[in-house]
Amino acid sequence: MSIISSLLNHGDPFISMVNMCPVLSTPIDWKETSEAHVFVADLPGLKKEDVKVEVSDGLLQISGERNVENEDDSKDYKWHRAERCRGKFTRSFRLPDNAKADEVKASMENGVLTVTVPKQEVKKPEKKVIAIE
């Protein structure tokens, strides 16, 4: 079955796509202040143990997994709608040159992850005038 027909058979194509692709339902804001780059991710229902924040080679990666809630094995239920995202997600951001990747801090409160990447002043290359012989 093609992805298009799969989407259309689930009712709302957008909701179906979100459920198939957890990245789409992991919104992350990135703002820059005078002191830092700040990433804020909405991760409802997740605990800090469910989320991993990594920095490597100038790349910030936020990943985790939203598990399906404990469902009994009896299968004595009928789904009417499933809109909440499930499964693994990974979001990556290339950090700018002024990021202090070795001083990244992360905190999580009420399902909101905040990653703060301090900034450093980037030295601009000096212009050197070359004498023409």
CA angle 8, 9, 13 (to 5 degrees): 35
Which residue, chain included where needed, has tokens 């780059």?
A: 37
Helix (H), strand (E) at residue 18: helix 13-20
CATH number of this structure's domain 24-67+86-118: 2.60.40.790
Domain ranges of the chain: 24-67+86-118
pLDDT in tens, the chain (133 residues): 445 444 445 555 555 554 555 555 688 999 999 999 999 999 988 899 999 999 999 999 999 988 766 555 567 778 788 777 778 899 999 999 999 999 999 999 999 999 999 999 877 788 888 899 9
Separation CA 49–CA 34 (nearest Å): 30
